[in-house]
């Protein structure tokens, strides 16, 4: 049984150092140093840690930013150490960040995530109710992260309107019960002889109100075993999202493995207007 995590702001220098070590363990390098974390914490941002006993199992780093006329928190990094994933820690840290931000009068938190990371999609879209606002090609240029080495760093840009009725409802009621999957599927897929998901025909002319787009369950494993296939997924899904976003579709939901999706996972796109 996992201990109940203690989630709070970092305050001591050894805690910032521990956060540096966690960044290195997760991404293979340091993105934000202790010095920058200390000043971020002092001047409007948030550096939150989640402790299990004495061990820092996860953290969030967010700085104060401005979007138009609105002050926001930009959550540049969040990580949970691999051994502690899939136990709701990421979700609990996001809730703690939301409470802190609301207390400071912040009403929106933004961040980016890789659309091919299905765990992140499940957490961000389905559990938290964050909204995908844009698709950014190769967002960070050459990105040294060990998670996606060899792939262009494409990202969804999301905003989480933390005081909105939609987010309050999503957090209070949880994700919608498993719905019937929309019949219109953008990509037809199959597992290859190594058990890796491959794309077959892709449809760019669909006009149904809701469309499904399947993505791999474990892009990290695919990237390690077959980089060319993972790059193919990156380029094909980039084209699909760009095409359907410019045709008026938006990401409506994410269907994780389990339940009706039978071990597969899908984005649901919805046509607007
Ligand atoms: C993203 C990250 C922080 C999530 O942390 P976490 O503690 O595992 O998150 P949670 O347990 O709260 O939520 C994960 C959800 O994904 C689901 N999930 C797990 N594996 C999945 C998969 N392969 N595909 C789809 N969903 C999956 C889990 O069931 C859970 O959903 P649920 O709560 O409805 O059951 C963590 O995976 C991580 O550190 N990743 C590497 C760094 C990173 O990508 N950071 C974010 C961008 S900066």
Name which residue sits closest to atom 20 of ligand 1, judged by CA: 119
Give the contacts of 193 (CB within 8 A, at least 6 positions apart).
none
Ligand 1 lined by 86 (C-beta under 6 Å) = yes
Gap from CA of 8 to ligand 1 centroid (Å):
20
pTM of the entire structure?
Answer: 0.95
d(CA 80, CA 93): 10
Residue 14 scores a pLDDT above 70: yes
Residue 178 scores a pLDDT above 90: no
Residue-wise over 37-69: b if at least 16 C-beta within 10 A, else e?
beebbeeebbbbbbbbeeebbbbbbbbbbeeee
Residue 1 scores a pLDDT above 80: no
Residue 146 scores a pLDDT above 90: no
What pLDDT is attached to residue 2?
Answer: 67
d(CA 10, CA 113): 24
Residue 142 scores a pLDDT above 90: no
Mean pLDDT calculated for residue range 242-253:
97
Q: How confident is the model at residue 147 (pLDDT cuts 50, 70, 90)?
A: confident
Percent of the chain with pLDDT over 90: 89
Mean pLDDT calculated for residue range 75-90:
96
Residue 261 scores a pLDDT above 80: no
* Ligand 1, pocket-test mutation among 57, 97, 123, most atoms within 8 A of CB: 123
Q: How confident is the model at residue 260 (pLDDT cuts 50, 70, 90)?
A: low
Mean pLDDT calculated for residue range 242-268:
91
């Amino acid at each position: 049984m996992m201990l109940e995590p203690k989630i709070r702001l970092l305050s001591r220098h050894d805690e910032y150092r521990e956060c540096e070590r966690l960044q290195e363990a997760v991404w293979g390098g340091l993105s934000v140093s202790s010095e920058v974390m200390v000043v971020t914490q002092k001047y409007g941002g948030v550096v939150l840690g989640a402790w299990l006993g004495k061990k820092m199992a996860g953290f969030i780093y967010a700085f104060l930013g401005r979007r138009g006329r609105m002050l926001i928190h930009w959550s540049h990094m969040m990580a949970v150490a691999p051994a502690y994933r899939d136990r709701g820690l990421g979700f609990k840290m996001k809730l703690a960040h939301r409470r802190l931000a609301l207390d400071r009068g912040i009403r929106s938190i933004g961040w980016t995530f890789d659309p091919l990371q299905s765990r992140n999609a499940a957490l961000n879209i389905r559990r938290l109710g964050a909204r995908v606002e844009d698709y950014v090609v190769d967002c960070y240029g050459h990105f040294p992260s060990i998670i996606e080495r060899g792939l262009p760093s494409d990202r969804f840009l999301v905003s989480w309107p933390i005081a909105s009725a939609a987010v309050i409802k999503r957090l209070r009621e949880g994700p919608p019960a498993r719905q019937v999957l929309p019949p219109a599927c953008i990509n037809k897929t199959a597992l290859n002889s190594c058990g890796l998901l491959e794309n077959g025909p892709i449809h760019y002319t669909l006009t149904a109100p809701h469309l499904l787009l399947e993505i791999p369950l474990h892009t990290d494993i695919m990237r390690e075993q077959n980089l060319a296939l993972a790059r193919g997924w990156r380029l094909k899904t980039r084209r699909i999202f760009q095409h359907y976003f410019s045709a008026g579709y938006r990401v409506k939901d994410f269907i994780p493995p389990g339940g009706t999706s039978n071990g597969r996972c899908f984005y649901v796109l919805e046509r607007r207007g």
